[in-house]
């Protein structure tokens, strides 16, 4: 099957979305968190997907939604306990996603030792663009990442700052969850996260992957 650009829930059905927290040192610092010894994982349901053309809606039960731009990986084959060196055999594409986070809910959950499902998994919590073929990228370990809100730069990083590389992440994740075609992995966010409000325009870019633009309604 020849694939050029893959749009979530149009060209393929999204399965589970496995997300990685605390994968960039400067973001760990800004969150006053500790550097993890293994990747920090959490899940978003497939209903979190928001495609380009749709608008971000602030949930009525939150007063603090933060942007987190992340490199997204699209799984193409069942992956169970694979080796990091084999990861490109299981990932077909790379894309740009936002890990929208209800920071007020997440902070309250952290204090009480409760899970992050509400703060990370609400409807529309994963605005995402189309995926481009991984085989066309020869430098996934060194791509500039930037996020702008109303044309002001908020986040700037590089995939070379990841604590756990894409290969290491797929190895670790697949040792816990069997990854299936249509699953998506979000690889963590660089520093500079912050709030978005009604009327904002969010633009995320990753070198060689183009850009995504979402309005907040
Ligand atoms: Mg994140």
- Is a pLDDT exceeding 60 seen at residue 1? no
Tens-place pLDDT, residues 146-196? 999 999 999 999 999 999 999 999 999 999 999 999 999 999 999 999 999
From ligand 1's centre to the CA of 159, what distance in Å?
A: 14
Neighbours of ion ligand 1 (CB under 5 A): 68, 99, 189
In this predicted model, which residue has the larger pLDDT, 9 or 215?
215
What the block records as the tokens of 147 is: 């996020």
Rounded Cα distance, 94 and 97, in Å: 10
pLDDT attached to residue 9: 86
At 126-136, the pLDDT tens digits run 999 999 999 98
pLDDT given for residue 138 in this prediction: 85
Q: Is the pLDDT of residue 4 over 80?
A: no
212 C-alpha to ligand 1 centroid (Å): 17
Asked if residue 62 lies in contact with residue 105, where contact means CB atoms within 8 angstroms, the answer is yes
Ligand 1 centroid to residue 69 C-alpha, Å = 7
Q: What are phi and psi of 129, to 5 degrees?
A: -100, -165
Tokens 């997300």 map to which residue? 19
Ligand 1 centroid – CA 187 distance (Å): 7
Say how many residues make up the chain. 217
Instruction: Flag whether pLDDT at 88 surpasses 90.
Output: yes
What does pTM read for this prediction?
A: 0.96
Band (99; pLDDT cuts 50, 70, 90): very high
Count of CB atoms situated within 10 Å of the CB of 115: 13
Residue 207 has a pLDDT of: 96
Among 24, 27, 22, smallest CA distance to 160 is for 24
* Helical spans, DSSP H, in 83-199: 103-112, 117-121, 166-174
**Tokens, residue 71:** 């490199």
pLDDT tens across 19-37, in order? 999 999 999 999 999 999 9
Residues 65, 17: Cα–Cα separation, whole Å: 19
Which of 3.30.2130.10, 3.50.50.60, 3.30.420.40, 3.90.850.10 would CATH assign to domain 3-215?
A: 3.90.850.10
Q: How close is the Cα of 27 to the center of ligand 1, in Å?
A: 9
pLDDT (average), residues 53-68: 97
Instruction: Compute the distance from residue 2 Cα to the ligand 1 centre, in Å.
Output: 31
Pairing of strands 126-128, 49-51: parallel
């Amino acid at each position: 099957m020849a694939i050029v650009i893959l749009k979530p829930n149009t060209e393929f059905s999204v399965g589970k979305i496995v997300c990685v927290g605390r994968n960039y040192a400067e973001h760990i610092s800004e969150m006053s968190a500790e550097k993890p010894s293994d990747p920090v994982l959490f899940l978003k349901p497939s209903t979190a997907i928001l495609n380009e053309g749709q608008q971000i809606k602030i949930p009525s039960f939150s007063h603090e939604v933060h942007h987190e731009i992340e490199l997204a990986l699209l799984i193409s084959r069942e992956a169970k306990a694979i080796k990091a060196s084999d990861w490109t055999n299981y990932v077909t594409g790379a894309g740009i996603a936002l890990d929208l986070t209800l920071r007020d809910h997440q902070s309250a959950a952290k204090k009480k030792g409760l899970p992050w499902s509400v703060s990370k998994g609400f409807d529309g919590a994963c605005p995402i663009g189309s995926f481009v073929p991984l085989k066309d990228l020869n430098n996934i370990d060194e791509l500039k990442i930037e996020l702008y809100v109303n044309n002001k730069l908020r986040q700037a990083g590089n995939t070379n700052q990841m604590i756990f590389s894409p290969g290491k992440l797929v190895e670790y994740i697949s040792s816990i969850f069997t990854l299936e075609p249509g699953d998506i992995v979000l690889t963590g966010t660089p520093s500079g996260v912050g709030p978005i409000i009604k009327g904002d325009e969010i633009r995320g870019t990753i070198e060689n992957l183009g850009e995504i633009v979402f309005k907040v309604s």
